[in-house]
Amino acid sequence: MNVKKTKINGLLIIEPDIFYDDRGYFFESFNQKKYQEIITSKKFIQDNQSKSKKSTIRGLHYQVGKNAQGKLVRVVIGKIRDIAVDIRFGSPTFGQYIAVELSSRNFLQLWIPEGFAHGFSTLEDNTIVQYKCTAFYSSEDERGILYNDTDLSIDWGINNPIVSEKDLQNNLFKNIDKDFIYLNE
């Protein structure tokens, strides 16, 4: 397994070892022991999966308090532009984001710890995204940032996005609460 740090402290791109032969391929998409050594001592307790049309945007989402979530994201079928925005007040990269192309062909995974807003755009039809979470979903602790907030200027890599009514009601970045404070780790 190859682990790459990104320009934002805490965000990691994970490239699993893929074993090919004349039948196809095999890889471990998750191994608790290995991943706990690399990314978090917390256990993953919920798996989520979505299927989306091309040009769909889901996000930007995060949870706060005791239900703040770390996420390990991968694509089962298709391709996405995965986005993680640093919302840790006091961070040298506060308000910055990374964009990583995850696909069923490159097998990459993105580790997004607590303190980041997460979203993605689908670059192919019928894209299936799967992610592991370190906390259960909690509607009371759910928060969001408007995907097209001009303060963030995120390049989603698509035109004419399909966005849910709920996500269109998300907060502006400048109005988010100080739910996460950066601790230089």
- Peptide bond just before 60 cis, omega within 30 deg: yes
Tell me, rounded to whole angstroms, the distance of Cα 104 from its chain centroid. Answer: 16
Q: What is the residue type of 59? A: G
Provide φ and ψ at 5, rounded to 5°: -75, 150
C-alpha span between 158 and 179 (Å, rounded): 30
Closest CA to 127 of 86, 166, 164, 76: 76
109 is written with which tokens? 């995974």
Instruction: Give me the catalytic one of 62, 97, 131, 147.
Output: 131
**Strands 71-77, 109-112: parallel, antiparallel or unpaired by DSSP?**
antiparallel
Whether 118 sits among the annotated catalytic residues: the reply is no
**Strands 71-77, 127-133: parallel, antiparallel or unpaired by DSSP?**
antiparallel
Instruction: Give me the catalytic one of 61, 62, 97, 147.
Output: 61
How is residue 91 annotated by DSSP?
Answer: -
Cβ–Cβ < 8 Å for 161, 121: yes
Q: Which residues are catalytic?
A: 61, 131
